[in-house]
Structure 1
Amino acid sequence: MKNILLIGGSYGIGLAIAKELNNNNNVFVASRTAENLSDLNVTHIPFDANSDTLDVSKLPAVIDGLVYCPGSINLRPFKGLKIDTFESDLQINFLNIVKVIQTILPQLTASNQSSIVLFSSVAATMGMPFHTSVAAAKGAVEGFAKALAAEYAPKIRVNVIAPSLTDTPLADKFLNNEVKQEKSAERHPLKRFGQPEDVAQMAVFLLSEKASWISGQVLHVDGGMSTLLVNS
């Protein structure tokens, strides 16, 4: 069985990934809380990506897969954004990834071929109003992933999933009533917003041997939003 480390895995997409991986892998969840994990056969490691350094002594010598889940959704007009918002979005969405990967790089390279899965956003590809801060941070993730994939091929595969709005606690304020849900669904060519399982299944695929010839890619799990223009 593979050793898979999830940074964040107690809620939303991370929890959905943990559930998908639960029975066939050794799963380690490094997160601030173990809430929602009690029914899963996973090892929890208390960890705050913003303030902690990952304790490698609690991890196996070989890590076959890493998924970094923490993120933010700050949607506000550019003129009202302070530099602190850009810095905090960059920290949680991107810079903490660098810290985690550098910390566990020996374990990743000890695998025959490890897989890193990161998260971007449809907003990094599409020009969307009020997304300047998060789009900038997610754009950094995409550029970093491609460069890292090139540098560590064929030893480490690195791919990015770029979802559209997905029904998670992070997105609750955008989907917390029927009107918002209907409007969000209508914006997508496939006429629904995302579910955590939609994204989790792509992550599990990218971690698996079935994706062993895929690296340096940004895969859009977005209901067709980034590429399809359809008549309403």
Structure 2
Amino acid sequence: SADYDAWLIRIGDGDQFGSGFVEVNPNSKIPALMDHSVTPPRRVFESGAILLYLAEKFDAFLPHDPSLRTETLNWLFWQMGSAPYLGGGFGHFYHYAPTKIEYAIDRFAMEVKRQLDVLDRHLADHRFMAGDEYTIADMAIWPWYGRLIRGGAYGDAATFLDGASYTSVARWEAEIAARPAVKRGIMVNRTSGEPSGQLWERHDASDFATRTQDKLDPQS
């Protein structure tokens, strides 16, 4: 496993527009990575680029077989091209927008449901996105669409979208959610939910046991 420092960027406070962060990601979006194991340090921004960079660096979660590697990248870039705009657009108009615009909600909901149908049909015949092997494609897609159908995003959006009907996505989501590394990963930089599940910053593997918010602030 790789050691790393995970710094909390509070986007509500505008941390992403500070000069230090902009030097890492000129687009002022999270996540961004700075690799200090090379000289000079190397910046990596956009989540898909980060996943691909780390997979190649550590030779993990990216198949060597050319066909499976291509299939992994097919789905990784499918996520990059669809989920942030379509899923994020749906979340904005359905849950966050101060004015509810029926056309916008319906338009984005229709596209999200189409994406979920694409996933469901694919996962009906595949354990993971690229076959039997868990890859960076699963890592990219799960936080968006897996979280959405299990009711972890945008209020009651899972009910509105009939998330329970996507049974193959639900099976895939549950298997990934049970992975120990995933359970740890979703704690990092988390500032909401149960305090025992919030690790605002991660700088050592022991932080998961000693520096969760319930231990740093027992009153939280």
Structure with the higher fraction of residues in strand conformation: 1
Structure with the higher fraction of residues in helix conformation: 2
Band of TM-score, shorter chain = 0.3 to 0.5
Normalising by structure 1, we get a TM-score of: 0.34
Normalising by structure 2, we get a TM-score of: 0.35
